[in-house]
Amino acid sequence: MKKRFTWSYFFIGGVILVFALICLLPMVLTFMVSITDETSITRNGYSFFPKKLSLYAYKLIFQGGSDVIRSYFISIFVTVVGTLLAIVITGLAAYTLANKKVKYRNLLGMYFFIPMVFGSGIVPWYLICDMLHLRNNLLALIIPGLLFNTFNMFLVRNFMSSLPDSLRESATIDGANDMVIALKIYFPLTVPALATVGLFYGLGYWNDWWNAVMLVDNEKLYPVQYLLLQLKSQISMLKDLQYLSGTSSAVAPAESLKMATAIVTIGPIVLLYPFLQKYYVKGLVVGSVKG
């Protein structure tokens, strides 16, 4: 059955299209600035139609090709492994708090809630990581971010609480233990919420550079975010030295490099998000109103 054309649908569609284009414009501007000559940026500012194009910023990023590729693989590995482990830990904790037969589950929920409000600080965090030998290895990039976010855990718990208790009771009668019930029944039914928190964890791991700063000294273990952060710092320092010395024979591409770095680093996330969008929206809506 064909939908009739109405001006209301046309107006709503037009508004959505305009809003989508507005959201797309910053991305287009970022890309155009990344391929703009630094001198042109200095003279004319950011522009959708640059007067002079240049790929020098991308050449700087990929000039040590093996380093960038290695850092990309490290970031991908850390993101995939860390996200999967974090989802499992968060899901099991949420299942425990959603189980009404667990004694003191509300007190346990408060135990999880307190660290979300009161943090211990950097020094105890660093001492614990050092005590666990989380230094100059891949575990140093995974374990510190593996302790699940309390908000994510409560989001999944609220989703699981909306499921009927008869599922757990029927599985228990059939002889299934809590681990089987959680992994084979509750996890498949909670895919929207798990995909939502998985996107949160994935973004956190992919954008993380703090753990590398604090816990990694080996250049071969640098994730791509930290490697590019160092490159930007070096270019900014070079530009400052040029300004102080009064030399400008070769303009350091500070602004175009920032934009090129953004394009290089957000690519995987932009490609991944459309596949998780439907789960992301459903997980947020259901997880926020149930409980």
How far is it, in rounded angstroms, from Cα 90 to Cα 215? 24
Phi/psi of residue 36, nearest 5 degrees: -100, 140
The Cα 119–Cα 8 span in angstroms is 50
Tell me the C-alpha distance between 4 and 257, whole Å.
50
Q: What is the dihedral of CA 252, 256, 261, 267, to 10 degrees?
A: -160
pLDDT tens sequence across 213-239: 888 888 888 888 887 777 777 676 666
% of residues, the chain, pLDDT over 70: 81
Q: Which has the closest alpha carbon to 92: 21, 159, 186?
A: 186
Compute the distance between CA of residue 280 and CA of residue 157 in angstroms, rounded to an integer.
Answer: 16
d(CA 143, CA 97): 23
For position 81, what pLDDT does the model report? 92
pLDDT of residue 287: 46
Whether the pLDDT of residue 88 is over 50: the answer is yes
Q: What is the pLDDT of residues 165-219, one digit of tens each?
A: 888 888 888 888 888 888 888 888 888 888 888 888 888 888 888 888 888 888 8
> What is the pLDDT, as a whole number, of residue 63?
73
Question: DSSP letter at 145?
Answer: G
Ordered by where they begin, the domains of the chain are: 57-289 (1.10.3720.10)
Residue with tokens 């930290």: 226
Whether the predicted pLDDT of 289 surpasses 80: no
pLDDT of the residue at 275 = 66
Mean pLDDT value across residues 19-45: 83
Residue with tokens 């976010």: 149
Compare 205 and 112 and report the one with higher pLDDT.
Answer: 205
Q: pLDDT tens digit string along 232-272?
A: 776 766 666 666 666 555 555 667 777 887 787 777 777 76
Comparing 272 with 76, the larger pLDDT belongs to 76
Note the pLDDT tens digit of each residue in 43-60: 877 888 888 888 887 887
Tokens found for residue 264: 């290089």
Question: Does residue 31 carry a pLDDT above 60?
Answer: yes
pLDDT beyond 50 at 290: no
The predicted structure's pLDDT at residue 288: 46
Cα 154-157-158 angle, rounded to 5 deg: 90
What one-letter code names the amino acid at 72?
A: Y
Q: How many CA atoms lie within 13 A of 77 on its CB side?
A: 14
